Amino acid sequence: GQNIDQPTEMTATEGAIVQINCTYQTSGFNGLFWYQQHAGEAPTFLSYNVLDGLEEKGRFSSFLSRSKGYSYLLLKELQMKDSASYLCAVSDSNYQLIWGAGTKLIIKP
Amino acid sequence: NAGVTQTPKFRILKIGQSMTLQCAQDMNHNYMYWYRQDPGMGLKLIYYSVGAGITDKGEVPNGYNVSRSTTEDFPLRLELAAPSQTSVYFCASSYSEGGREQYFGPGTRLTVT
Write out pLDDT tens, residues A52-100.
Answer: 999 999 999 999 999 999 999 999 999 999 999 999 999 999 889 999 9
Average pLDDT, chain B: 95
Radius of gyration of chain A (CA): 13
The b/e string for A52-80 (b: 16+ C-beta within 10 A; e otherwise) is: eeeeeeeebbbbbeeeebebbbebeebee
Contact list in B for residue A89 (CB cut-off 8 A) is 42-43
B25-55 per-position pLDDT tens digit: 999 999 999 999 998 889 999 999 999 999 9
Q: Are A62 and A72 in contact (CB under 8 A)?
A: yes
Residues 30-49 of A with CB under 8 A from B: 30-31, 33, 41-45, 48
- What's the whole-number mean pLDDT along residues B20-26? 98
In the prediction, which pLDDT does B1 show?
80
Q: Which residue of B has its CA nearest to A3?
A: B42
User: What's the pLDDT band for B99 if we cut at 50, 70, 90?
Assistant: low
In the prediction, which pLDDT does A14 show?
98
In the prediction, which pLDDT does B98 show?
66
Contact A43 B104 (CB under 8 A): yes
- What's the whole-number mean pLDDT along residues B57-84? 97
In the prediction, which pLDDT does A99 show?
96
CA-CA distance, B73 to B70, in Å (whole number)? 6
Average pLDDT, chain A: 96
In the prediction, which pLDDT does A2 show?
86
C-alpha to C-alpha distances, A8 to A46, A77, B9, B65, nearest whole angstrom: 19, 22, 27, 32
- What's the whole-number mean pLDDT along residues A26-54? 96
Ramachandran category for residue B66: left, alpha or beta (phi over 0 → left; psi -120 to 50 → alpha): beta
The b/e string for B19-48 (b: 16+ C-beta within 10 A; e otherwise) is: bebbbbbeeebebbbbbbbeeeebbbbbbb
Contacts of B27 (CB under 8 A, 6+ apart): B1, B3, B4, B93, B95, B103
- What's the whole-number mean pLDDT along residues B67-72? 97
Contact list in A for residue B98 (CB cut-off 8 A) is 30-31, 91, 95
